[in-house]
Amino acid sequence: MQFHEHPHEHPHHHEHEHVLDRRSALRLGGLGLGGLLLAACAPSKGAITSTSTELATSSTTAATATADVASTIASSTSAPASQATTSSTAAATVLNTLPGFDEFASTVKVFTSGDYWQVESNGLPAHNMMVGITSWQQQVPLPMTYKGSNAWQLPKQPALATNPVSAKTSLFRGAIALAVNGVPIFNALNNRGEDAFLVGELDKWGGHCGRADDYHYHVAPLHLATIVGSAKPIAYALDGFAIYGSTEPDGSTMKKLDEYNGHVGTDGVYHYHGTTTYPYINGGMRGVIRGVVGDQVDPQPSAKPLRPAGTPLQGASITNFSSPKTGQYALEYSQSGKTGLVEYTVSDTALAFTFTSPTGAVTTEKYTR
């Protein structure tokens, strides 16, 4: 079994004030890089069959943070066109796709295989990325191959587990949910048990890159609600239950949540909510899953590193990220009052980097995909 390489092997020493301007867009994200960053994937053909098993959760409880996430919005420059979808609230409804994903149908492919929905994407969002990170591991966003046998799998008929799995004490590796734009969502706590948002690891949209240069969120992408609307989920937990934004699907005020950030809706079906305080997203697996292997929900896609993992760049803050054209990217950062630059190109077969340090030193690296 391959796991997401996502540890951050360094301590953080930050004074966390309540001035959160650099992450003020968690509720409403910019959408400027869409066509440049995303590529459509072809569906796989293999059927998947497996029996679900219920898992016991640990009785120990980790300390959690409850500081508010800023609600100031980042400006949007584009949004996918809306498409009609079928409601998922009635159990007897026949769906051709999962609600929410239909708004990103040009870049995220959803289809059924046996008892599961298969979701294929390259893991890159249409909104900008990386800007606002103040604790950077020198990782950059690369397209992933979440397709075929490496696609995401969501149960078609989720069921509540007798023994849920808590994200406070488990699931510190890999994803626990999948946003409807095809971006994975990891535990709000990093693998050291720290709130990734509060220690400065996340950009304005609640994401960053792991050691495989795989972009993912650690908090709820509440900004997606501006695209899908309140009636559709912004994400799905890997147990198959929907995750809605900060209101109920009918637009009413969000009702009281359980410790997993969810509750049973007026339709009699359990669902989660995204919130601006911990746990931000689903607080674990309230539903049945097939297993936990290596402290992550199993099965799930792997993100394979193409280059050695980066190391912490002390004092660096990411100030800009852009994609001038398809397959070309540039990341700017500030360190000690000077600007550094990472430029890279991605093709089907190669990956090439040019690094310009704040002192002006230039180095290059090339890798085979």
What are the extents of the domains in the chain? 1-45+52-309
311 band by pLDDT with thresholds 50, 70 and 90: very high
* CA separation for the pair 199, 243 (Å, rounded): 25
Side-chain half-sphere exposure of 14, counting CA atoms within 13 A: 20
pLDDT of residue 322: 98
The answer to whether 113 touches 47, Cβ cutoff 8 Å, is yes
129-143 pLDDT tens trace: 999 999 999 999 999
Nearest to 110 by CA among 93, 123, 98: 98
Q: For residue 356, how many other CB atoms are within 10 A of its CB? A: 15
* pLDDT over 70 (residue 57): no
The answer to whether 294 touches 118, Cβ cutoff 8 Å, is no
Cis peptide before 299 (omega within 30 of 0): yes
94 band by pLDDT with thresholds 50, 70 and 90: low
* pLDDT over 60 (residue 201): yes
pLDDT of residue 96: 80
State pTM to two decimals: 0.77
150-194 pLDDT tens trace: 999 999 999 999 999 999 999 999 999 999 999 999 999 998 899
* pLDDT over 90 (residue 68): no
